[in-house]
Amino acid sequence: MPRRTAKENLHTKVCQTCNRPFTWRKKWARDWDSVKYCSNRCRAGRSRASAGGVEGDRGP
């Protein structure tokens, strides 16, 4: 039986909406190169991010 990859060794990207890192998931195996968002919530909120409605992007 083949050995599994440890979670620490999975590929990571940074979400374009919330700027948080997220790791590779098996459901994204076929289209990992086109994955840009960590969740459906971030994907749906991408238009709000361009309007300045993201919590993490607020300045001092």
What is the total count of domains within the chain?
1
Domain range enclosing 29: 9-50
pLDDT in tens, 12-44: 999 999 999 999 888 988 999 999 999 999 999
- Is 44 among the domain residues? yes
| This model's pTM is above 0.85 | no
pLDDT score at 7: 72
- Is 15 among the domain residues? yes
* Long-range own/partner contacts, residues 15-20 (CB < 8 A, 24 or more apart): 15/39, 15/42, 16/42, 16/46, 16/49, 17/42, 17/43, 17/45, 17/46, 17/49, 17/54, 18/42, 18/54, 18/56, 19/56, 19/57
- Is 14 among the domain residues? yes
- Is 55 among the domain residues? no
